[in-house]
Amino acid sequence: MTDNQLKLENQLCFRLYTAARLMMGAYHPYLDPLDITYPQYLVMLVLWEQDKQPVCDIAKKLLLDTNTVTPLLQRMEKAGLISRTKGKVDTRQRIVSLTKKGKALQEKAKPIPDCLRNDVALKTGDEEEILNIIPALDVLIDGLKKAKKYNLTDLFTFKLS
């Protein structure tokens, strides 16, 4: 291993972390008037696409654990955006549904993707180049999911020991 491998500037993870953090921050001016956070916006996107979903399905779509999603849903329920009810077939299951307030928020949120895309295009000068990274990110995400599934981190740790 060379010293260059451990330089911050050579780390893909740092670039992804920074881009994610800055992207979430870019949403604040659009989400603050709606009184929702970026993670809540992601949940709303899932529910606007298909209402009445089990917590485990929402977590799966967001690539999160249910124990991460549950407190988020509890806050959203307190805010009146969603309701959680027991499943009819399996009463241990919780079904998440949009409330009237949550459904109404969809209309207010419609301009957000275009506004954000325009902001990024204005700041970078090239919207098409930015959109072209989506397939590469999808490949990376898929690879990381497979690594987690097969617990490849144990293999890497073993080789380093």
Q: Give the residue carrying structure tokens 């500037």.
A: 9
Which residues share a beta bridge with 34? none
The residues pairing with 82 across neighbouring beta strands, listed in sequence order, are 98
The predicted model scores a pTM of 0.84
Q: Quick one: pLDDT at residue 1?
A: 58
Tell me, what's the pLDDT at 161? Answer: 40
pLDDT at residue 158, rounded to an integer:
43
Q: What is the pLDDT along the chain (161 residues), one digit of tens a residue?
A: 567 888 998 898 999 999 999 999 999 999 999 999 999 999 999 999 999 999 999 999 999 999 999 999 999 999 999 999 998 888 889 999 999 999 999 999 999 998 888 887 767 777 777 778 889 899 988 888 888 766 655 544 444 44
What whole-number distance in Å separates Cα of residue 161 and Cα of residue 150? Answer: 19
Contact assessment for residue 73 and residue 57, using Cβ atoms and an 8 Å cutoff: no
Is 58 in contact with 51 (CB distance < 8 Å)? no
Tokens of 11: 């780390």
**Are the C-beta atoms of 47 and 69 separated by less than 8 Å?**
no
Q: Based on C-alpha coordinates, what's the Rg of the chain?
A: 19
Q: For residue 155, give the DSSP letter.
A: H
Q: What are phi and psi of 49, to 5 degrees?
A: -70, -40
What is the token pair recorded at 153?
């981190």
Is 153 within 8 Å of 147 (Cβ atoms)?
yes
Instruction: Give the per-residue pLDDT at 150.
Output: 65
